[in-house]
Structures are given as structure tokens and as C-alpha cells.
Amino acid sequence: MVNCHILLVSFPGQGHINPSLQFAKRLLQIGAKVTFSTSLSAISRMSEAASTIPGLTLAPFSDGYDNGWTGAKDFQDFMSSFRTCGSEAVKHLLLAKEKEGHSFTHVVYSTLVTWAGEVAYQLQIPSTLLWNQPATVFYAYYLYFNKNEIFTGENSEGIELPGLPLVLSSCDLPSFMQSSSPVIYNFALPTFKEHFEILERAGTKQKVLVNTFDALEFETLRAFNKYDLMGIGPLIPSAFLDGKDPLDTSYGGDLIQKTVDYIDWLNSKDELSVIYISFGSFSNLSKQQMEEIAKGLIKSQKPFLWVIRDGKSGTEGEEDNTLSLMKEVEKQGMIVPWCSQLEVLSHHSVGCFLTHCGWNSCIESLASGVPVVAFPQWTDQFTNAKLIQDFWKTGLKLAAHVDGGIVTADEIARCLEIVMRGGERGDEMRKQAQQWKILAKEAVKEGGSRLHLEFQKIDQVVGSNQSFST
């Protein structure tokens, strides 16, 4: 155990950094040495909490855009630079440690960081993928690349993933599989395909670590046996899950710092009365859509806490966030530029989460027992929303108006009414959400998700006994 030194390489996005850091904490707890590596731009913005995680070493690298990817021509340009610069930096780090006599024994890399697996392969260092989307989405991508006939022809409007009691429509697929996916994301499918090529080349049945837990995706974990999909979640700070470490109150890698005190405001509200709204750290809604959300919230007549990021992220086509109904909005709710999402979701006043369905937000809502109104935007979020509504039954998916894809205020108010006002359907969703909260806690007990077995050997967790042949 003392000689086990893991290099954990993460994509510099919040949805990748959070589960990666939480996984690093778990590895440290069972005796491994861990070095966490991601872009310098992200490390420089992260909270000081990351640098105080006991035993964790940080190893930032330049991705060519040290002030953030928004300086790139487009996202494809950034991804190209991220790959080139990151590959060189990680290779240099691995070789330098070997020269020092303190070699890394394993590389763990997050979704989209395929090149880290490639570098590890070249240097004959065992590596493992840390998948930060549902196992069901991983399965869907595998089938898309290996059994594409499932997604074409007559099946396009009724897609069945073998072994799963779930029928998807084409609009339930990850956005990169959809014909409407913007050209600027043309890098995505080749990148996901590369994940499977790296796994295939390893030559043995590879472990893939997934931020999920057995009860949540039992059917998928059982149906897909090409690789050893290993549920190691929920990767959530202990204070909001099992409570074994009450000091573990944050992931430690927030890229935006809390600047507004919202807890007193939440404390002043009745139990289950508040609607929480957040679209994550990346999604940007049109001005028209923001106005419809504001109108829908006002129609709900419920207090709400709405995260609207300050300033512009630099995304092409992004519009000003100022609302025409700002006075009405501020009278009924509270707008903040950022918050501790788990702190909010675990608060007794919060009764509903209007979310883009990023996987971190989904699993945090499940672990907190909060029902959702699903408003997916891109990538895996459409599949996540489908799972929430029809499989886990903890929420409703908003229906977009056919003209322009805008979700109207009436539709938003309708769904919020169902979830927040109770009634048979709303009560059932809340009951299901509470049941998933119980199961999430059970997953981290001894005998739950395999990572959490306190006395498990490290090679059973990350497969560090594997070897690669060139």
C-alpha cells in the first residue's frame, strides 16, 4: 500500500474535477499516495481547500490557455491544445518520477482525457478510466460505436439498449449522437470512441470506474459485461452522505467562489417550500429562455434560489443575463452567482431542483432526496433526464415548444406545480427521491459500492496489478 502512487488526471471542468477530487480522498483514506493533475487555469481558480486535502499533491500543467479556454478560437481548438500540451506534461511528470526512483504505479484519468491513457500505455504503466457520467451512457456510447444498427433505421424512434427495461427516443440520446449536434463539437464522438479503443487495446477485461452505485444502475452494470464497470459512488463529500467525516464538507475544487450569504435566506423559508435553480458551470441559456424561466418562477408563487453566473463565460452567442422582470424576481426569490450545491440541496427548505441534469447535479439530487424538474441542454443530460423521469421516477422533464426549442413559462410553471404542490404524482416522486437517498447512503457502507469496503486492497479498486503489452 505504501508503494502505491496514483496519478489522477482530470479534465479542467467542474463536473470532472469534483468527482475526481472526491475519488482522490477515498484513495488517500485507504493508504494510497495520490497526485492530482489538471490544467493550470483550473488549479489557479480552485478553492484553497484542494491544497489542504491531507496527503494530496497537486501537479498543474499548462494547456496552452492559462487564463481559461475562452481565449481559444473555439472549443475544438482548446481540446487540441489541451491534448498536445497535456500529453507532453504528463509524460514528463511520469518519466521524472521514475528517474527520481518514486515511480507512479497507476494512472487514473477522467472522461475526455483519453490522451492520459495513451501516454500511460506508451510507458507501460497501468491505467484506469474514471467515467463521470452514468453507466447507462457509457453503455450507449459502446453500442453506438460497435452496434450502430440499434440507433438507425426503424429503431431511431424506439431504441432499446440490450438488457435494459428502457426505451429511448432519438432525443433521449447524448446530444453528440444527435444529428443536430453543433459542428464545434465534432471532436466529441471521436474522443469517446478513443476511450473504447484504449480499453480494447489493453487486451484484458478492463475495469472502468463509474460515479454511480449498484442499486442505481443495477441493470446496466449487469447487462454490460464487455468491461468490468465498477460503481464507486456516490462520489460526494462525506458530510452530505454518510457523515463519517463531518469535516468533509466540500469537494475542494470549486472554480467559482461563494460570494453571497444565502443560508440565512433559506433558513427563513418553510420546509420544502423553495425551488432551487442551477444550470451548472458551463451551460448558457438564451435571453428569451431566461425570461421564460423568470415568468414561470413568478407563476409558481414559490420562493426560489436561482444561480445566475456573473459576467460572461466567453461562449459564442452568449447573451446578457439581466432580466426584464428583475424587480419581481428579487421580490419572490434570491439570485446568487454561485453556491455550495450540496449545502443547498440538503437544506430542509428546498423542495425541488430545476436542473440542466449534469451528472453531478443528478447524483447530488438523488443522494439528497430532492425531486427535480429536468431541463437538459447537451451531452449526457438528455439521457440523464430520461432516467430521472422514467427509470428512477424522481422528476419531470420539461417539454420544449417546437418553434425554436424554447420551454415556455407555462410549461415550467406546470411542472413546478406538480412537483411542489403535492398530489399523487408529486408525492410519489418525493417518495422515490427519499428512497434513493437511503440507497445512496447504504452504498457507502461496508458491503456497498466496492470502493467503500474499508479493507479492500488497492489493486482491487484500480486494477494496479494489471500489465500492458506493447
16 is catalytic: yes
What DSSP string describes 263-285? HHHHHTSPTT-EEEEE-TTT---
What is the rounded average pLDDT of the residues 399-428? 88
Q: Is the model's pLDDT at 465 over the cut of 80?
A: no
Q: Is the model's pLDDT at 353 over the cut of 90?
A: yes
Phi, psi of 371 (to 5 degrees): -70, 160
- Distance (Å, rounded) from C-alpha 276 to C-alpha 256? 18
What is the rounded average pLDDT of the residues 392-405? 83
**CATH class for the region spanning 5-233+445-462:** alpha beta
∠ CA 99-103-106, rounded to 5°? 145
Place of cell 504528463: 90
Q: Among residues 235, 231, 230, 237, which one has the least CA distance to residue 213?
A: 231
Domain boundaries, the chain: 5-233+445-462, 263-441
Sequence-ordered alpha helix ranges (H) in 101-187: 114-122, 135-146
Rg of the Cα atoms in the chain: 22
C-alpha cell recorded at residue 328:
419581481
Residue 380 neighbours by CB under 8 Å, 6+ apart: 133, 134, 137, 174, 359
Q: What is the pLDDT of residue 51?
A: 78
Q: What is the pLDDT of residue 311?
A: 52
From 16, 106, 356, 452, active-site residue: 16
Q: What is the pLDDT of residue 445?
A: 79
What is the rounded average pLDDT of the residues 47-73? 85
The domains spanning 5-233+445-462 and 263-441 adopt the same CATH topology: yes
pLDDT, one tens digit per residue, over 357-385 is 999 999 999 999 999 999 999 999 999 99
Q: Give percent above pLDDT 70 in the chain.
A: 89
Q: Is the model's pLDDT at 166 over the cut of 60?
A: yes
Q: Give percent above pLDDT 90 in the chain.
A: 69
Q: Is the model's pLDDT at 129 over the cut of 80?
A: yes
Name the pLDDT band for 449 (thresholds 50, 70, 90): low
Q: Is the model's pLDDT at 315 over the cut of 60?
A: no
Q: Is the model's pLDDT at 179 over the cut of 90?
A: no
263-441 CATH fold = Rossmann fold (3.40.50)
Residue 31 neighbours by CB under 8 Å, 6+ apart: 1, 2, 4, 458
pTM for this model (two decimals): 0.91
Q: Is the separation of the CB atoms in 352 and 276 below 8 Å?
A: yes
Q: Residues, the chain, total?
A: 470
Name the pLDDT band for 321 (thresholds 50, 70, 90): low
pLDDT, one tens digit per residue, over 257-286 is 766 889 999 999 999 999 999 998 777 899
Helix (H) / strand (E) element for 439: namely helix 423-443
pLDDT, one tens digit per residue, over 419-434 is 998 789 999 999 999 9
Q: Among residues 259, 237, 241, which one has the least CA distance to residue 249?
A: 237
Q: What is the pLDDT of residue 419?
A: 96
Q: Is the model's pLDDT at 237 over the cut of 60?
A: yes
Q: Among residues 175, 174, 7, 11, which one has the least CA distance to residue 82?
A: 11
What is the rounded average pLDDT of the residues 40-55? 85
